[in-house]
Amino acid sequence: MRRMENKRVNFVQAINDGIMEEMEKDSSIILYGQNMALTDDDPFVKKFGKDRVRFTPISETAEAGMAIGASMTGLKVIVDLVMTDFMLVAMEQLLNQAPRMRFSTGGQVKLNVVFKAGFGFIYGWSTTHSNTWYELFMRAFGSKLVIPSTPYDAKGLIKSAIHDGNPVFYLTPFNLYAMEEDIPVKEYYIPLGKADIKREGNDVTVIAIGWMIQKALGVADKLAKEGISVEVIDPRTLIPLDKKTIFSSLEKTGRLVIVDQAPKTGSAASEISAVVAEEAFHLLKAPIKRVCSLDTSVAYSKPLEEYTIPDEMKIIKAIQEVLHV
């Protein structure tokens, strides 16, 4: 059997490779944002020129509005808004205009726009850089919401997002940017709306989002030594949500813990809990547990920051509670 050729990349390189591959094939794709194309030596500028790759002023509202307008002319747009915290100033464009354009025009206008940003910078940056905010975009009806957790997924998902035909919020966990992984050199795509089982198990299902996947996998390794088998599911896209994979796992385990970096109230974990309670309650052997950030602001203080965010001990405690051990 011929061995597949791989290369080792980190999270950011994987995303850039995916964008680069698509821009090479499709001249209608443009890329712009605040922290890119700063010099003529930028690899995207060197390869595609300043007509397709641009540095923009610090105005998220303008960036989002330009993306909508450019896409209406037939271009496929990737706009890097850097942080979800910064997206807050452009919410009229992001929540009320882009996702609803197809609805508002009776299907005459379709937007190919990827709104790209990081979230949850947990290094003592507090209220202006440490929030998640992805939960807000679960109400951006008419759009899709992607949150990758590995370099492999990050590349495959961005390549699909660029051509989706809908506004896609492609949001990435800052705490995974240095994560490295061997990924195929051969081109691949990952469809939006398809969850991935990161680890199979039989006793309890853990759904984790973004950075929390790594914590859930760490917990699964530890509990395996105690004879507890944890199945870890990565939704990869919160809109659409792959309910089929979740329900299939619950048919096996009957127990569910959801790990979410966002504060519990109004979180993705809350929505997933509600979906399971409404549509798959008969599969549950125990109440659902949510392991989320506390309903408060993230502090500058490192001990307080760590106290706020979900950690492995909190996940283990939740699993023990649903298993009654």
Rounded Cα–Cα distance for residues 78 and 202 (Å) = 40
What pLDDT score does 36 carry?
Answer: 81
Rounded Cα–Cα distance for residues 254 and 244 (Å) = 14
Which residues carry out catalysis? Answer: 129
What pLDDT score does 3 carry?
Answer: 60
What pLDDT score does 149 carry?
Answer: 98
* Per-residue pLDDT of the chain in tens (325 residues, 90 and over written 9): 456 799 999 999 999 999 999 999 999 999 999 878 888 899 999 999 999 999 998 899 999 999 999 999 999 999 999 999 999 999 999 999 999 999 999 999 999 999 999 999 887 788 888 899 999 999 999 999 999 999 999 999 999 999 999 999 999 999 999 999 999 999 999 999 999 999 999 999 999 999 999 999 999 999 999 999 999 999 999 999 999 999 999 999 999 999 999 999 999 999 999 999 999 999 999 999 999 999 999 888 989 999 999 999 999 999 999 999 9
Cβ-based neighbours of 168, under 8 Å, separated by 6 or more: 113, 114, 115, 143, 144, 145, 146, 161, 192
What pLDDT score does 2 carry?
Answer: 52
Rounded Cα–Cα distance for residues 164 and 175 (Å) = 27
Cβ-based neighbours of 244, under 8 Å, separated by 6 or more: none
What pLDDT score does 123 carry?
Answer: 78
What pLDDT score does 31 carry?
Answer: 96
pTM: 0.95
What pLDDT score does 310 carry?
Answer: 96
Tell me if 255 sits within 8 A of 266, measured CB to CB. Answer: no
What pLDDT score does 126 carry?
Answer: 82
What pLDDT score does 49 carry?
Answer: 95
Cis peptide before 240 (omega within 30 of 0): yes
